[in-house]
Amino acid sequence: MGFDIRMPIGMLFTLFGILLIGYGAATQGSATYAEHSLGVNVNVWWGGVLLAFGLAMIGLTRIRRKG
């Protein structure tokens, strides 16, 4: 009913991904990564995963609409 829920889910995760990658890049090398996430810049990494997931969701909406 209504609209395809994959679109807002996709949009939200895409935005999250962009935000985290941006913030992660801006704080690259900060002590907070050594203190928390074992030295790994999880913001950039996981932001990338979220972005990919978000785009995949939006992609699925497009395919569904064409088909």
Partner 1 sequence: MRPEPHLIDYAIILLYFAFVLGIGFVLKKYMKTSTDFFLSGRSIPAWIAGLAFLSANLGAQEVIGMGASGAKYGISTSHFYWIGAVPAMLFVGVFMMPFYYGSRARSVPEYLKLRFDEKTRGFNAISFAVMTVFSSGVSMYAMGKLLQLLLGWNFTAAILISALIVLAYTFLGGLTSAIYNEVLQFFLIVMGFIPLVYLGLRDVGGWEGLKARIANDAMVHSWKYMGHSNANPMGVEWFGMLMGLAFVLSFGYWCTDFLVVQRAMAADSMTAARRTPVIAAFPKMVFPFLVILPGMIAGVVTSSKLHDARAQEGVVASTVAQSSFFTGGKGIIPPKYDAGGNPVTADGKVVLDYDLATPMMLVRYFPSGLLGLGLCALIASFMSGMAGNTTAFNTVWTYDIYQSYINKTASDQHYLWMGRAATVFGLAISLMAAFVAKEFNNILDVLQLVFAFVNAPLFATFMLGMFWKRTTGHGAFWGLLGGTVAAATHYGLTLPAGAVPGVKGGYLGPILHVYPSEMAQNFWTAIFAWVGCFTLTIVISLLTAPRPEAELRGLVYSLTAKPEEGGLKWYQKPATLAVIVLVLLFGLNLIFW
CA dist 48 and 16 (Å) reads: 9
CA dist 51 and 42 (Å) reads: 13
| Shortest distance (Å) from residue 59 CB to partner 1 | 15
Q: Six-digit token pair at 64?
A: 């569904």
Specify the DSSP class assigned to residue 40.
-
The footprint of partner 1 (CB under 8 A) covers 1-3, 5, 8-9, 11-13, 15-16, 19-20, 23-24, 27, 30, 32-38, 40, 42-43, 46-47, 49-50, 53
| Shortest distance (Å) from residue 60 CB to partner 1 | 11
| Shortest distance (Å) from residue 61 CB to partner 1 | 13
